[in-house]
Amino acid sequence: MKTDVVFIDPVDTVDRRRDIDFVVCIAGRYVLDRHMDPNGNRREGPCRVVKISPESMTLVAPVKGLIGERVTTTVWELGTFEGPVLETDRHGFVMSVEMSDEERNKFATKLEWYQKHKNHTLSENRNYKRIVPRTPRSTILLSDGTLVEAHIVDVSVAGVAIAASICPEVNEPLAVGKIVGRVVRHFAGGFAVEFVDLQKPQLLEKLLLAPAQP
């Protein structure tokens, strides 16, 4: 019996891995080359990485910098990175990640490992079946009326795991879509919310996706 042999180009595999953007929620610090304090030292500020790939990363940051300006960012769980600002938005900016091909390949492997294991510290009660929604985009309404975009990691009738540009304090009340709950714990990359009431499985995705109303 003849068996076809399929050859996989390792270069093509690396290129595909570089195109993958991982949604995260990791604290860090960043320095912009052109932003100085009165003593002539570069200002360092807090940031939060919300999307990352072997080619670039998206930061939520108070000072955006200018397109082309060089940035040095230290991400607590992944390391220190340098590169220019590629684009800005109202929340922060996207920066390029400068690496050699070998470093980029190793970093792609590290990101895959991180994405696979980031939720292992989540010790939430798993008595209820959890699912990944078909469309994981949602919104979070905080108690002060702030509305924030969010990414659903997984959800059950009792609660939801969230990745967003913010990490509310434990016990803080909020609404995910139209479902009210409270933050019960943080984990690497996000936080877990326990719903006030158990939800009907058939309505979960619809309620999560609908924008919460103040």
For residue range 154-211, list pLDDT tens digits in order: 899 999 988 887 888 888 899 999 999 999 888 767 889 999 888 998 998 889 985 5
* Domain identity same for 107 and 31: yes
Residue 124, in any domain of the structure: no
* Domain identity same for 15 and 99: yes
Annotate the chain with DSSP letters as a single string: ---------HHHHHHHHHTPPEEEEEEEEEEEEEEE-TTSPEEEEEEEEEEE-SSEEEEE-S----TT-EEEEEETTTEEEEEEEEEE-SSEEEEE----HHHHHHHHHHHHHHHHHTTTT------S--B--SS-EEEEEETTS-EEEEEEEEE-SSEEEEEES--PPTT-EEEETTEEEEEEEEETTEEEEEESSPPPGGGHHHHHHSPPP-
pLDDT band at residue 91 under the 50/70/90 scheme: confident
User: What per-residue string of b and e applies to 92-129 under the rule 16 or more CB within 10 Å gives b?
Assistant: bbbbbbebeeeebbebbeebeebeeebbeebebeeeee
pLDDT band at residue 17 under the 50/70/90 scheme: low
Q: Among the listed ranges 60-64, 96-100, 112-116, 199-203, which one has the minimum average pLDDT value?
A: 112-116
Residue 131, in any domain of the structure: no
* Domain identity same for 60 and 105: yes
Report the CATH number at residue 91: 2.40.10.220
Does the pTM surpass 0.85? The reply is no
* Domain identity same for 29 and 110: yes
Q: How many domains does the chain have?
A: 2
pLDDT band at residue 109 under the 50/70/90 scheme: confident
Look up the domain containing 154 and give its range. 137-209
pLDDT band at residue 44 under the 50/70/90 scheme: confident
* Domain identity same for 69 and 142: no
Residue 102, in any domain of the structure: yes
- Give the C-alpha separation, 111 to 129, whole Å: 27
* Domain identity same for 102 and 166: no
Residue 71, in any domain of the structure: yes
pLDDT band at residue 126 under the 50/70/90 scheme: low
The pLDDT of residue 43 is 85
* Domain identity same for 33 and 110: yes
Asked whether residue 141 carries a pLDDT value surpassing 80, the answer given is yes
CA atoms within 13 A on the CB side of 99: 19
